[in-house]
Structure 1
Amino acid sequence: MKELKVSRRTQYTRMVLQDSLIELMKEKSISKITIKELCEKADVNRTTFYAHYTDQYDLLRKIEDEVLLWLKEAIITLLGKITDKSGTMQVLEGICEYFVENSKHLQVLMSEQGDIDFQKEIFTLIYQQCGISPPSPTNIWLGINEDAFIFAVNGSVGLIQHWLKNGFKKSAKEMAETIYELTIHIR
């Protein structure tokens, strides 16, 4: 089937709604955001909103899905078939650079206002693509400790939250090196 081209108006409407949701999430949790205030902030009517999204949670999930799609593509592009330290560092640095370039949205998505499951999903995906995954009946023999994996994912989320919240006091490369050094022993 032929893929339909999204009009500029549709792209603009989605961008304005996404930006408006992110702005509102800086002030309060998504559960406290109404469709009415979201539409007022975006200067669109409710009918327009519902033509694109079912509710504010659907809108947030679409934003998160875009980030995850970029992340998956970036990992494949950056990592390729390299599984050594330089490949892992390239992936981590590229992802940290993405965080800097898209800090407007990611500061909120990775904050306490964001969805912790989404945040964990980001680092689980990164670590799995870099050859670090939680133990399962098929890979338990690799010596990967489930507690260490959970600690690495949650610790990385907290570290990125701190980095975003405090204005990128470390460069993307320094942040990638920090994450790498703190998680390398999980393998």
Structure 2
Amino acid sequence: MKQDLRFEKTEKALQEAFLNLLQTKELSKISVKELCELAQVSRNAFYQHYETKEHLYDNILNELLLSIEDACRPLVKDVATITEVEGRLFLDKILLAVDQNRFVINQLLTSQPAVFTAAFHDMLVSANIQSSHSIGTTPNIAYIHIFSGGIVAFVKYWLLETKLTLEEAQDKLFSIVGQMRME
């Protein structure tokens, strides 16, 4: 038990140090040595957890996307029962998951925007296709791609270009999606 706790503590220290370094440096400019110094762990400890700093980045990204993917689970069992309330709740849950991971997402968006946005988009597409299948509908792949791309673009806009609160962002996204449905 003690070893597991130490392992988790080291991993958390490495991830926090890495995210802090990403605030001021590009990924390519971060060295394992400075990462270990900031995390106050040995190089051996780093390599027990990660093969490379890119592996550390990928691990952080994957954990983040898994936590957001949970918010994409369907809220209904039948498409015919989806109301405006369920649509709103679905969008609200996604933005809540983003808000809960805001610091990490900001670091990933500013350090590797193309990598983050592509991975986020792919996760949303996959989650929405799975959700369609789980409620017994044939997914509209083109719509899912456009919808997912819109969510990713909105998140990037919200976090990097505005000072909107979570509630304001939820209202704005719901309004935009509503306008798109009407046109």
TM-score, reference length from structure 2? 0.74
CA distance in 1, matches of 2:149, 2:141: 20
Give the secondary-structure state (helix, strand or coil) at the position aligned to 1:7.
Answer: helix
Greater helix proportion:
2
Q: Which residue, 5, 8, 14 being the options, matches 1:17?
A: 14
Residues 48-59 of structure 1 mapped to structure 2, 5 A cutoff: 48-59=45-56
Once the two structures are superposed, what CA deviation does each residue of 1:101-150 show, in whole Å capped at 9, x if it has no partner? 222212112x23134233233244335545699xxxxx79x59469x82x
Contact 1:14–1:52 under 8 Å retained in 2: yes
Listed as ranges, the gaps of 5+ residues in structure 2 are: 133-137
Equivalent in the alignment of 1:96: 95
Equivalent in the alignment of 2:135: none
| Shift in alpha-carbon separation, 1:144–1:181, aligned structure 2, 3 A | farther
CA distance in 1, matches of 2:3, 2:69: 23
Q: Which residue, 26, 30, 36 being the options, matches 1:33?
A: 30
Equivalent in the alignment of 2:155: 160
CA distance in 2, matches of 1:23, 1:80: 40
CA distance in 1, matches of 2:62, 2:88: 24
* Residue 169, structure 1, aligned to residue 168, structure 2: no
When the two chains are superposed, the root-mean-square deviation of aligned CA atoms in Å is 3.4
Deviation of residue 161 (structure 1)? 2.4
Contact 2:67–2:97 under 8 Å retained in 1: no
Contact 1:88–1:130 under 8 Å retained in 2: no
Equivalent in the alignment of 2:75: 79
AA aligned to 1:87 is E
CA distance in 1, matches of 2:72, 2:141: 24
Report the identity percentage: 25
| Shift in alpha-carbon separation, 1:75–1:153, aligned structure 2, 3 A | closer
Answer with 53-62 or 176-185: which moved more: 176-185
Equivalent in the alignment of 1:136: none
Contact 1:71–1:95 under 8 Å retained in 2: yes
CA distance in 2, matches of 1:170, 1:11: 34
AA aligned to 2:77 is K
AA aligned to 1:57 is E
Once the two structures are superposed, what CA deviation does each residue of 1:47-67 show, in whole Å capped at 9, x if it has no partner? 000000001110011111111
Contact 2:124–2:148 under 8 Å retained in 1: no
Deviation of residue 80 (structure 1)? 4.7
AA aligned to 1:182 is I
CA distance in 2, matches of 1:52, 1:30: 18
Equivalent in the alignment of 1:179: 173
* Residue 126, structure 1, aligned to residue 90, structure 2: no
